[in-house]
Amino acid sequence: MNFLMTLSVRILIFPILLFTCASSFSQSKIQQKVPDKTRILFLLDASGSMLEQWERPNQTRWSVAKSILTKLVDSLGQNSKLELALRVYGHRSPQEIKNCKDTWLEVPFKARSHTLIIQKLAEIRPKGVTPITYSLEQAANDFPTSSGYRNIVILITDGIESCGGDLCAMSVAMQKKGVFLRPYIIGLGLRTEKSLECAGKYIDADTPGKFNDVLNEAIETSFAKTTVSVEILDANNQPTETNVNVSFLNSLTGVPMYDFVHYRDRMGNPDTVQIDPVVDYDLMVNTIPPVIKPNVALAIGKHNVLTIPAPQGNVVVRQEGRRDTNLQVLIRQKGKSELIHTQRSNETVRYLTGSYEIETLTLPRRIFPIEIQPNKTETILLPSPGVVNFNTTSTGYGSLYEIKPDGTQTWVCNLNDLKHEFTLSLLPGQYKIVFRVKQTTGSKYTAFKKFTVKSGVTSMLNVFN
């Protein structure tokens, strides 16, 4: 097994999707699409170990990689929507020097660069170490900044990092920055390094012929037109839900690659969108709360229909006598502390079906358990508040409590350092104020007073009279 491991060539393909929006001639229409043009940077290992024999006498890993890459570059030269470049590492310093910055952009992106790449491949002789991580980091700067291109890095290496760099961490970090997306990992001639799977998808090629097929398949995948339509299912598993934001997330980084507001035509059919097939996606329907379908498997070069259940119902909160939207309520799923939404009064909001708790930001707060049914509206109706004008003679410290029917009390709010005259809007009920003026010299000077608040009624309360 160790012998086979030393006879490996691994290829990592790092795609970069530069997301573009093509503007039409109308301000109201902007079309999201995959860029028409592609840049491919070949990042080639020319370390000393590439001269080791592979599969048969007089055939080295270098000769196989160089031969197949030369043919591939030559076949791509006539593609007018493709630009090529070549970066090489491990070819300028001998192994004993251990130059971990031995990487060079040999052929930058330019017109007809395929001819120069073929010439350079013929000139280069392997000799040094394998600074994969550093080379990959430098490769990110090799792409021109102009938009409208998909940027792809194809890394060809005969081994893992030899300079202490963490390729997997670098890959993930750069993908999160939108530089590299999920890569392919193609192993040539061995049971490859499983440790590299954290940087992308592993595909094994155990012969030069298989390597050639897999590499060409990866290139073809990069250009395959892949389309998707999303069917958002209701409670009856019918695709009737729509007009909600749908996100395609990079499954490794969680970074959104596409965001579409879902659309169904007059016949009830979802429309078709094109997405880049080189990325693995999680599909997120941004309902409240969101629904996620992880690791969506796409048929590359074909039309895909993705289904995801997301039945919804409506919630509206109203307060008698008030038409404004100043009152806010907090929405949580039953049994969970996480806040999923803040909703205004008189606003109708859709939620996934299920059990919820609604907390009103009134004085005092109220919590209502509700069960949201598909395509039905649950209405919470609050009574109109009463208004109480308080007079505490002077500033001080205190609290307001609600008196329950059984005589117990529940804290409502603190009344510290307010002006001696202040006003509160309170829901109807029984209350008690407990207050001590700041200038007093003992707890015994604390006053308390019970009072009643009636819906829509304004009253005056003198705490010390």
If you search the block for the tokens 């120069």, which residue do you land on?
Answer: 116
pLDDT of residue 353: 98
Burial class of residue 375 (count of CB atoms within 10 Å of its CB; 0-12, 13-18, 19+): middle
Q: What is the pTM of this model?
A: 0.78
pLDDT of residue 430: 98
| 257-to-28, 172, 253, 260, 296 alpha-carbon distances in Å | 22, 15, 10, 10, 14
pLDDT of residue 5: 39
Burial class of residue 215 (count of CB atoms within 10 Å of its CB; 0-12, 13-18, 19+): buried
CATH of domain 312-382: 2.60.40.1120
CATH of domain 386-462: 2.60.40.1120
User: Could you read off the pLDDT tens digit of each residue along the chain, which spans 465 residues?
Assistant: 433 334 344 455 555 444 444 444 344 555 677 778 888 889 898 988 888 887 888 888 888 888 888 998 998 888 888 899 999 999 999 988 999 999 999 999 987 899 999 999 999 999 999 898 899 889 888 988 888 888 888 888 776 778 888 888 888 887 777 666 566 666 655 544 666 677 766 666 667 777 778 777 777 777 788 999 999 999 999 999 999 999 999 888 888 989 999 999 999 999 999 998 878 899 999 999 999 999 998 998 999 999 999 999 999 999 998 777 789 999 999 999 999 999 999 999 999 999 999 999 999 999 999 999 999 999 999 999 999 999 999 999 999 999 999 999 999 999 999 999 999 999 999 999 999 999 999 999 999 999 999 999 999 999 998
Spatial separation of the C-alpha atoms in residues 286 and 337, rounded to whole Å? 20
pLDDT of residue 206: 66
Q: Which CATH architecture has domain 226-309?
A: Sandwich (2.60)
Where in the chain is CATH 2.60.40.1120? 226-309, 312-382, 386-462
pLDDT of residue 380: 96
What number of other Cβ atoms are within 10 A of residue 17's Cβ?
21
CATH H superfamily, domain 2-223: von Willebrand factor, type A domain (3.40.50.410)
pLDDT of residue 321: 80
Q: Are the beta carbons of 132 and 157 closer than 8 angstroms? A: yes
Spatial separation of the C-alpha atoms in residues 66 and 400, rounded to whole Å? 81
